A and B are shown apart, each in its own frame.
Chain A
Amino acid sequence: MAHVASRPLARRTHRRLAAVLLAGLVSALTLSIAAPASAEEIGLDEYDNKISGLVELADQPLADVQLVIAGGGFSVEVVSGEDGRWAVGVPERGEYTVTLNEETLPEGIAVIDPELEQPNVRTINVGQSGSAVANFFIGQGERNTVSLLDQVVERLFNGLNFGLLLALAAIGLSLVFGTTGLSNFAHAEMITFGGLMTLLFGVVMGLPIWLAIPIALVLSAAFGYLNDAALWKPLRKKGVGLIPLMIVSIGLSLAVRYIFQMFVGGDTQQLPGATDTSLEIGMFGLSWTDVASMSVSVLVLLGVAFFLLRTRLGKATRAVSDNPALAAASGIDVDRVIRIVWIMSGALAGLSGILWAYFRPGVSWDMGFQILLLTFAAVTLGGLGTAFGALVGALVVGLFVEMSTLIIPSDMKYVGALVILILVLLVRPQGILGRKERIG
């Protein structure tokens, strides 16, 4: 085993300083990105694939400009050399984001590109050739700063959008939990399934998107039904306990997730219209896709509410959630209710996956798993097993995740939501809308 020698001493002291800050929890959130990397070429020997670029202003090279290249769990920093050039090795082919730190540009200079919302961030694809180039338009101009109010409004809309799509997934999860007691980790794969099916029909098979999405939804519902019929119903009949069931769902989630990966690979692929800038409204960073997404979510959520509150089947569903034995005793066909809940759960999760694919944007094999914890957080926050609690919880989580990026770095935005989850459980373990249980 080879060992890499300790990093230079200067860096170590720097590190110690930062550690002290970290340990003291001194406004950890405002710590700026520290320790610029020292070379203009990083990791070229280590990895086969390369991303490179040239930073220049009116044909004059700019040195010491910092760039962060990240993707697929990998991330590296580089600064441009005296000739303005930089290059990094990256482990795999695929999509990477290159972020130019505008703070490190000379005074009065910025990345300018009227086409883009964030001109200093570029997404590039390292393809078959194994290398890619990322350059920026740099010139005199305003830095990428949006007024605080605009930012707040933009984040608010984003949070609402995210919260609504999360609610679709959370309500399905919550209904299944309420009626069967199962904490279904494989719910993540039902979310991914919706996105993948839309990709299959809308992109691979080239059907128009207005047709591909309904097909994907029907298949998602069928997938939900299949989950119950092939696995959960037999296990219920066998009398397997709730915690073993939860562990079974963990196994299922793992297996299905990697089966997805076998079929679609590790890349992220876009649905039609997801990255189409012509759909921008030009207000608060919203696009027509966002508006459509929010409208669909609201309509479907209203539909679910109507179902639960006004229809006989919906009432039966709530009765089963309350007390399955009693519901069965009073003549409700519990198995039928559970079957319908699974079908709904599948369809809602699938829809949520499609909207998530437009929100991220992109379809990937683990997209559902990425928001599984947030979905659980939403369900728990709202109160385990209450459908409307899940809705409230999801909106809280969605808004919190997006709004928190105003203050904390965006790579920590999920941290805030999960911390909130833990804090709420401390104060109100039954969740926001949950009922306190009678003991004894």
Chain B
Amino acid sequence: MARLDPLIHAPARLQVLTTLSAVSEAEFATLRAALEVSDSVLSKHVSALADAGYVRSRKGVQAGRRTTWIGLTSVGREALREHVAALRRLIDMVD
């Protein structure tokens, strides 16, 4: 049975994983713009998620400047699926 994941229970981290599920990889600045957060806030959440193996990051070049690319791992995708399923079950119980 799907369970709530404490690591992505914070809405900000759930948003990071959900947004990354729309792409294979996103540049740091693109992700920051979609989430409407500061560099430091996103960096903190990405680090926590990367430590858990939910996202991977790599250095690259975008339009001639160095940047960081971030992508969802298969572990992160499964964690997201289970967490969302658990949230939906909670909603169903309330309804």
Asked whether A and B interact, the reply is no
Please give the residue numbers on chain A whose beta carbons come within 8 Å of chain B beta carbons, in ascending order.
Answer: none
* Chain B residues within CB distance 8 Å of chain A: none
